[in-house]
Chain A
Amino acid sequence: MNKENNRFQDIGEFIPEPDDNIIICRCEEITKGEIRAAVHDGMYTITEIRRYLRCGMGLCQGQTCSKLVKNIVTREQRISYSDLEPATSRAPVRPIEMKVLGNEIGGTR
């Protein structure tokens, strides 16, 4: 069962931090400040953060930054690291050309 999550709980104001300009998701060039601000916009889950900002949606599909993003999002909400579900991993995991992926049957196709 999914955990009940009130989206109107008070997590405080967004307070700028000196390292907000650090790039966390390198593929999509998303900064720490953008991730923190997204939490204050109501994006409380890793899935919502990804869909809202695109972090973890680029070439590496979050294999580099997902833990960093999770740390930032949990800290901002003052919840424990284990309270947040990771994003769903999606096939094909490594980028594959259409001509290869579309030829899974092979032969004379």
Chain B
Amino acid sequence: MNHTADVIIIGGGIIGCASAYYLIKKGLSVIVLEGSSNIGDGGSSRNGGGVRQSGRDSRELPMVMWGIKNLWPNLSEELGTDVEYVQRGNLRLGKTKKHLDILQNLTDKAVACGLDVRMIDANEVRQINSYLSEEVIGASWCPTDGHANPMAATLAYYKKARELGAKFITGVEVKEIRKIKGKARQVVTQNKRYEGDKILVAAGHDSREILASIGIDVPIQVLKMECLVTEAEPYMFEQMLGTAEADFYGHQTKHGSFVFGGSTGMEAFEKDDGRPISTSIGASCICRGIMKYFPALSDAKIVRSWAGWIDECVDKIPVISPIQEVPGLYLACGFTGHGFGIAPGAAYNIAELMVEGGQPTVDMAAFRYDRFKAKI
């Protein structure tokens, strides 16, 4: 049957594809419905490729640390596609005293969670990466962080899940989730109905509208971010980079290009034209940010720039949770721009959560959908 499965997943991004893979490995049948024409067309293929723990909210750390320890190192082998995972550390750079205070605070919290991360001075920063400008006065250094190719990783999960029998359908817009006998069961698209014992909504920022059809709401909003990529350059460094100010982030890829993302500060106030389109100021602003940290890259040529949407949750960590009022319905969205590195760990635990009588390996209480409260 092409319309019935144990689990219907709404959203063919890395969360949907990876969840499909881990569910099908547990013996469940899966249908994945993707609204756009392409698999992984949202944040999954538009991000900077960071697979990092440092700089994260401490509520997210147990899950991402578990994924980096247990899944990422063997992912290419397991999925049969090179996901270009490189685990050579993350430098989070600071240029002012204020930056160092931000980094110290993040570092202290991460150390309390058991993460190997520490503050280093300007000399040590330049020992790790000799191309950084004199403006950098310190950084946080986490040697177990790294990066991977987000497009390859998303499509690798898709390819493997498809090989194992997951049914993927692209270009299907989900209109509604319907209950039957008190349980979420039907997923209604423009011209078909799909049925599953369980339904996972992993549709990024579109999740909110889909959930509205069944009376559930989570506080997420759309935020646009821009990225760019240079032509292939000779090998320079292997670390993932970020900054205390979060003005840019990125890495050098396996084929030599540098991928950098950044922000202009105008994102939250941009006119919504319904599509994630690069702005006229975005790439130029990111270039200026990069050149301040890496003067050596000022002659590198930009070959392409793009934009993507972040599903920003009000408290900046995802919602990964069963929905109590609607038995059979599960939610995984609101990853707030740092969903790529955490995706394998999250999807693995989602599969454990969704299988009958299953118990997730990592405690997910912090990601519950009903955690949001008014401030007073």
List A contacts of B152 (CB < 8 A): 51-52
Docked pose: A85 CA to B45 CA in angstroms: 18
A69 within 8 A of partner (CB): no
Q: Establish whether residues A5 and B288, one from each chain, have CB atoms under 8 Å apart when the complex forms.
A: no
A78 within 8 A of partner (CB): no
What are 20 A-to-B residue pairs whose CB atoms are below 8 Å? A1-B190, A2-B170, A4-B191, A5-B171, A6-B167, A7-B39, A7-B170, A41-B159, A42-B158, A42-B159, A43-B155, A45-B37, A47-B37, A58-B303, A90-B278, A92-B283, A95-B302, A97-B301, A99-B287, A102-B287
Interface size (A, Cβ < 8 Å)?
38
**Distance in Å: Cβ of B362 to nearest Cβ of chain A:** 29
Interface code A31-62, partner B: CB below 8 Å = 1, 0 otherwise? 00000000001111101100110100111010
Q: Establish whether residues B37 and A51, one from each chain, have CB atoms under 8 Å apart when the complex forms.
A: no
Given A8-B167, A92-B283, A101-B284, do A1 and B173 touch, yes or no (CB 8 Å)? yes
A15 within 8 A of partner (CB): no
Residues of chain B touching chain A, judged by Cβ–Cβ distance below 8 Å, are 2, 35-41, 45, 151-152, 155, 158-159, 162, 167-173, 190-191, 230-232, 255, 278, 281, 283-285, 287-288, 290-291, 297-306
Q: Within the complex, which residue of B41, B169, B278, B285 is in contact with A47, where a contact is CB–CB below 8 Å? A: B41
**Distance in Å: Cβ of A78 to nearest Cβ of chain B:** 18
Interface residue SS majority, chain A: loop
**Distance in Å: Cβ of B260 to nearest Cβ of chain A:** 10
Q: Establish whether residues A101 and B302, one from each chain, have CB atoms under 8 Å apart when the complex forms.
A: yes
Q: Establish whether residues B151 and A6, one from each chain, have CB atoms under 8 Å apart when the complex forms.
A: no
Given A42-B162, A58-B232, do A52 and B301 touch, yes or no (CB 8 Å)? no
List B contacts of A28 (CB < 8 A): 255
List B contacts of A85 (CB < 8 A): 37
Q: Within the complex, which residue of B162, B171, B283, B285 is in contact with A2, where a contact is CB–CB below 8 Å? A: B171
Q: Establish whether residues B297 and A59, one from each chain, have CB atoms under 8 Å apart when the complex forms.
A: no
**Distance in Å: Cβ of A97 to nearest Cβ of chain B:** 5
List B contacts of A57 (CB < 8 A): 304
Q: Establish whether residues A48 and B232, one from each chain, have CB atoms under 8 Å apart when the complex forms.
A: no
